Amino acid sequence: MDKYKDMRISPISRQDWTLEIRDILKMFSQYLSNLGLSGEESEKDSLSPVLSCLLQHPNLARTFLPFGRYLLMESTLDSRCRELVILRATWLWRCEYEWAHHSMAAIDNGLFSETEIKELQQNVLSGDWLERESLLVKAVNELNESSNIETGTWDALTNHFNNQQMLDIVFTVGGYVLSGFYMNAIGLPLKEGMKGFPDFMLVPSKN
């Protein structure tokens, strides 16, 4: 774990993997398997630091993991819409680890092309996008600017999404920005092969 030595909160160590933590991992075994983990004893040292730092606070982990599982696996949004919302939100809020992870996965899984990923870095989509996709980007932009969605944008979105999906849009933005705050704040480094933000994105604002 040397590459994580400068993190503000260290990933939980092997000897601190308690019965309570094993119980939490067992509860979310299906969710973790989608992250490449099954919670087996042999995986103590290969837990993602995203998870192993959160497990320093078992009560929080037990509460937050179901929410994360819902957003990723049980949302009423289809995969492309969900990832579009995540990608735009994590770009705007400078959540580098989440952006790097989801942009790479979206390309690998065939949800987006590299060109589309680049376009999602712009305020207005160009090219061959569906109306609902352009509206989703507009909604995320507005949430970033004012913590609200303008009435016209909301009404236009309701032509494409039902009430449950509208709520999932808002909670997906909030959930992934929250996760990004957590990863930024603990100093989580990118994994090898991840493509992060351009340097200019990482310069602190002077305001």
Q: What pLDDT, on the 0 to 100 scale, is given for residue 126?
A: 84
Q: What is the DSSP letter of 14?
A: G
If the chain, 207 residues long, is cut into consecutive pieces of 10 residues, what is the mean pLDDT of each piece? 82 84 77 52 62 93 92 96 98 95 94 95 87 97 98 98 98 97 95 80 49
DSSP-derived 3-state class of residue 128: coil
Nearest residue to 95 (alpha-carbon basis) of 177, 200, 201, 189: 177
Q: What pLDDT, on the 0 to 100 scale, is given for residue 71?
A: 96
What are the extents of the domains in the chain?
Answer: 2-72, 77-202
DSSP string, 125-174: --SS--HHHHHHHHHHHHHHHHSS--HHHHHHHTTT--HHHHHHHHHHHH
Burial class (CB in 10 A: 0-12, 13-18, 19+), 35: middle
Nearest residue to 51 (alpha-carbon basis) of 75, 27, 76: 27
- CATH of region 77-202: 1.20.1290.10
Structure tokens at 204: 């602190």
Q: What pLDDT, on the 0 to 100 scale, is given for residue 192?
A: 86
Q: What pLDDT, on the 0 to 100 scale, is given for residue 46?
A: 57
Angle at 121 between CA 115 and CA 124, to 5 degrees: 95
Q: Is the pTM of this model over 0.95?
A: no
